[in-house]
Amino acid sequence: MRNGQSEAQTHIQEQIEQLRLGTVDFINEEELKKKIKKGKPLKVKFGADPTRPDLHIGHTVVLNKIRQFQDFGHDVDFLIGDFTAMIGDPTGKNETRPPLSPEEIDKNAKTYAAQIFKVLNPEKTRIVYNSHWFAKLTPADFIRLSAQYTVARMLERDDFTKRYQNHTPIAIHEFLYPLCQGYDSVFLKSDVELGGTDQKFNLLVGRELQKAYGQGEQQCVITVPILEGIDGVNKMSKSLDNYIAVVDSPKEMFGKTMRISDQLMLSWLELLTDITPAALSQLKLDLQSGRQHPRAVKVDLAKFLIRRFHSAEAAKAAEEEFNRIFVDKGLPDEIPEFTLSQPAEPISICHLLHQTNMTASTSEARRLIQGRAVEKDHVKIEDPNLKLALKSGEEFLLKAGKRKFVRVKVK
C-alpha cells in the first residue's frame, strides 16, 4: 500500500518534470501537484485569436506542451476568442483588426482546427467559443467584472506601462480585454492555462479573477518561450522568413531542419518534441562524448516534425530523398545562400558564378565549365555561353569544383 502510494508519487513527480521541461513560468508546482493528485483529468485551457490561423512551428511550442498534458490523460479547452474578434478594434485606429463576421470566424476556426490537430489529440480537445457566455452577460455583470481589477495593476502590464510613459493612447476597452480573457477561465473553471511568455500577465488575471469570483482553486499558469527561427538568432516569424510553416512540404521541413545549428537543435528538441528530461540529458552527454553525431539527431528531429505535421511515410520518404540528393552526392549540411533580385534580362552563367563568389572571375568560371566542374541542381552545365532567364521566387543549387556550393534565391 505504501509502496503503491510511493509509485504514484513518483509518477506524479515525473509528470511534473516532463510538463516543466522547456517552460518559462510554472506557477506553481505545488498547486499543480495537488490538482494532479486528485486523479481526475485536469481542464487545460488555451485561448486563440481567430484572426490569424496561419501557423508556423513556433506557434506549436505551446500546443506541444498541451499535447503532453493530453498524453497524461488531461482534457483541453481550446478557446476561440470570437467575442472580442467580432468587435474588432472599436477605436477604428487599428486597421489590421477589423471586426470579423461570424462566417469568417467559423472559417478561421476550421482552418485552426485543421492545423492544431496535427499536434493536439482531437479526442481530448473541446473547441469552445467565448461569445457563448459573453453574449449572456449584462452591462451590470460587465461592470462587476471590471471592478475586480485596478487601473494601477493593469498599467503594470509591460506594453501598457511603455505606452502610458510614451503618451501613446490606451483606449479604456483595452483594459477590458484582459478581464474578458480572465473571465473565460472563470466560466470554464480551468485548472491550467498555457500561453507564450507575452501572455503571462493575462493568464495571471484569469487566476486572480477565479479567486475574486469565489472559486476555491485557481488555475496554474504555464508559459513557454518564443521559438527561435532557423537562423538561430531571431524569433521565428513570417516576416523574417526564418520559419517552418505547419503546411510546409516534408521536403522543406527536412531541408530546413537539417540546416539549423547544433545549439538550436537542442532547443527545438526541448520545445517541439516529446523528449523526456532524462533522454535530453543523456543526449547532451552523448553529443559531448561523440557517441551521437548532431547530423543524426537532426535527422530524427526532422522526421519527428514530418511525422507530426504529415505522416510516418512522408518522414521516411523525405529522409530517403534527402539522402539521395544531398548525402549520396556528398553535399555538406550547410550550404550558403545567395539572394539576388530578378535580373531584367537573362544572365550569363559565368557572370552568375562570379557574382555569387563561386569563382574569382568570369574567366575562371568559363574554365571550370569547360572542365565539366559546374552543376546546376545536380545537372552538369556544358555550355559556358549559357544564359539563364531567372524567374522571381526561383531557387536552385550551384556547384563549382568539388566542394563549393551555393543556394541561389531569386527575389
Q: Which of 12, 113, 127, 137 binds a second copy (CB under 8 A)?
A: 137
Nearer to a second copy, 101 or 281 (CB): 101
Q: Which is nearer to a second copy, 51 or 237 (CB)?
A: 51
Check if the beta carbon of residue 64 is closer than 8 Å to that of residue 58.
no
Site string for a second copy, 48-87 (x = CB under 8 A): -----------------------------------xx-xx
Would you count residue 1 as binding a second copy (CB under 8 A)?
no
Closer residue to a second copy (CB): 78 or 134: 134
Applying the rule CB under 8 A, the residues between 176 and 195 that interact with a second copy are 176, 179
Taking the complex as a whole, the smallest distance from the CB of residue 160 to a second copy amounts, in Å, to 8
Of 10, 13, 101, 146, the residue at the interface with a second copy (CB under 8 A) is: 146
Compute the least distance from the CB of residue 331 to a second copy, in Å. Answer: 56
3-state secondary structure of 238: coil
Residue 147 as a binder of a second copy (CB under 8 A): the answer is yes
Could you tell me which of 79, 60, 80, 57 has the C-alpha nearest to residue 68? 60
Distances (CA, A) of 152 to 161, 175, 183, 258: 10, 11, 19, 48
Residue 191 identity: D
Q: State how far the Cα of 301 lies from the Cα of 168, in Å rounded to an integer.
A: 44
Give the C-alpha separation, 64 to 19, whole Å: 10
Q: What is the dihedral of CA 303, 305, 309, 315, to 10 degrees?
A: -10
Burial, 143: exposed, middle or buried (Cβ in 10 Å; 0-12, 13-18, 19+)?
exposed
Shortest gap between Cβ of 257 and a second copy (angstroms)?
43
Of these, 151, 345, 383, 391, which contacts a second copy (CB under 8 A)?
151
Binding residue for a second copy, selected from 144, 238, 372, 378, defined by CB under 8 A = 144
19 burial (CB, 10 Å; 0-12 / 13-18 / 19+) is buried
Residues in region 106-135 near a second copy by CB under 8 A? 134-135
Indicate the residue type of 101: S
Residue 167 in contact with a second copy, rule: CB under 8 A:
yes
Q: Is 102 in the site for a second copy (CB under 8 A)?
A: no
| Nearest residue (CB) to a second copy, 90 versus 330 | 90
- The owner of cell 490606451 is 170
Asked if 142 touches a second copy (CB under 8 A), the answer is yes
CB of 207 to a second copy, least distance (A): 17
Contact 205, 199 (CB under 8 A): no
Contact segment (CB under 8 A) with a second copy among 173-181, 227-235, 299-307, 373-381 equals 173-181
Q: Which of 13, 28, 91, 339 binds a second copy (CB under 8 A)?
A: 91
Distance CA 16, CA 34 (A): 11
Cα(380)–Cα(376) distance, integer angstroms: 6
Among the listed residues 26, 164, 213, 338, the single contact to a second copy using CB under 8 A: 164
Q: Mark the segment that binds a second copy (CB under 8 A) among 21-29, 149-157, 257-265, 397-405.
A: 149-157
For residue 385, what are the CA distances in angstroms to 345, 352, 366, 370?
15, 12, 8, 10
- Of 3, 5, 96, 138, the one binding a second copy by CB under 8 A: 138
Alpha-carbon distance 381 to 116, whole Å? 45
Residue numbers at the binding site for a second copy (CB under 8 A): 83-84, 86-87, 89-91, 134-135, 137-144, 146-152, 154-155, 160, 164, 167, 169-176, 179
